[in-house]
Amino acid sequence: MRIGIAGIAGRMGRLLAEEVAAAGLTLAGGTIRPGSAKAPPAGIPLLPDAGALFAESDVVIDFTHAEEAAPHAALAAASGKGFVLGSSGLNAAQERAVAEAAQRVPVVYAANFAPGVNLVLALAERMAAALPGTQYDAEIVEMHHRQKVDAPSGTAVAMGRAVARGRGTTLEEAGIESGRDGHTGPRASGAIGFAALRGGQVVGEHTLLFAAATEHIALTHRSFDRRAYATGAVRAALWLRGRAPGLYGMKDVLGM
């Protein structure tokens, strides 16, 4: 199985290359951002563009940037290759483009590829189903390194969506309370709150808090090493072998 890596000179790209080798797979090559001063790992084929990467690979793993998601998904569909997408911060149009590509090829798209996070998301949905929004306010607090450009994080949004599903609604219908500042008035009942912290080199911390008048329940996940994301992404790439076209998530990969 030949794996291609978009953005192979970045932190995640290098970890992905190591995990591909550890899994005994063939690394078809990688791409780097045009004009980037970063060099790819030694001995790894550097391909001129994403089109060449998809042509040389059976599955491409992409943790680059939200802006690359739609064009890379289109290349996956055109080339008939599997696609593992871990970029966060996609807007509605970019997510639609990924879903359209998944009608032609198998795609695994996840906010977070760490197995532990996906177990937490499943627990969040079950807890929300048991804790009504009229009595338990749901608040999500996340912290990441100072270089992260999107907020709230993709994992935090996934937590909010899990809570909304558990309560039989959507995140948009439930209402979002984010970035409170000044005289905001009382908290809306049933809304889902978000707070994003940025600083230092925190890999990722997420806490879902259910707050009632009589008790508080907190569900927390902390990431200490990005390798967990790389390991999960390579596992997803292996899982795609022989899959029918479709838009899959890590719940599918993990058999949850």
Supply the residues annotated as catalytic.
Answer: 144, 148
The residue written with tokens 């042509």 in the block is 55
CA distance 23 to 116: 20
Instruction: State yes or no: cis peptide before 41, omega within 30 of 0.
Output: no
Written as six digits, the tokens of 225 are 């090493």
* CA 29 to chain centroid: 22
Dmax over CA atoms of the chain, in Å, equals 60
Backbone angles phi, psi at 196, to 5 degrees: -115, 125
Whole-number Å distance between alpha carbons of 28 and 59: 9
